[in-house]
Amino acid sequence: MNRTEIAIIDSFWELLEEKPYNKITVKNITDRCQVNRNTFYYHFRDIPDLLERIIKREADEIIANYQQFENASDCIKPIIQLSLKRKKAILNIYHSLQRDIFLNQLEEFTFYFVKNYIDILTETLSISSQDKRLLVRFYKCALVGIILDWFDKEMSYDLLDNFIRVSKLFAGTTDRAFINSTKQ
């Protein structure tokens, strides 16, 4: 990625912190980073393309830098950290018409984290691949649902604390599911 693309992306993030997604124009972005419109269009088709690429970039960066899966909360920590780092911007995207781009990436990297965590938990178990896929999908859906509730509540509560508490309340249920799968 070159300096111009980085400047455009940084300007877009800054603008998302200041105003809703649907109020941001190419002119706002180009004025902010002091490039012309042609330069913007050389790098990005339009603002939705810019949004899709920056969300994908953030997701890829989180996945590349976060390989630690010691407990269930490790599946949600990187998502919380990114969301809190860019709280206003993330909420502006989430509340926009382009939220499907954001939700697709949220599902992708939540799936990645859950799958890796379950792979670690089951590496010594003889669990069927069908049951493993089912459990990954189930926990991914549960985790995405919890995160969406947090976004709906404007990130107003401590999601990590709540998640850790729920994990304690459900302690052992995942282990039992794995054991039940090996018995079949």
pTM, to two decimals: 0.82
Looking at residue 155, its pLDDT comes to: 97
Distance, CA of 133 to CA of 163 (rounded, Å): 22
**In the predicted model, what is the mean pLDDT of residues 129-142?**
91
Contacts of 167 (CB under 8 A, 6+ apart): 71, 72, 73
- 173 lies in some domain: yes
State the residue range of the domain holding 127. 67-183
- 92 lies in some domain: yes
Name the band, by pLDDT with cuts 50, 70 and 90, for residue 35.
very high
- 40 lies in some domain: no
> Structural domain tally of the chain?
1
Name the band, by pLDDT with cuts 50, 70 and 90, for residue 32.
very high
DSSP 85-141: HTHHHHHHHHTSTTHHHHHHHHHHHHHHHHHHHHHHHHTTS---HHHHHHHHHHHHH
- 20 lies in some domain: no
- 27 lies in some domain: no
In terms of Cβ atoms closer than 10 Å to its own Cβ (0-12, 13-18, 19+), residue 37 is exposed
Does the pLDDT value for residue 64 go beyond 70? Answer: yes
- 172 lies in some domain: yes
CB atoms within 10 A of CB 143: 21
- 100 lies in some domain: yes
- 62 lies in some domain: no
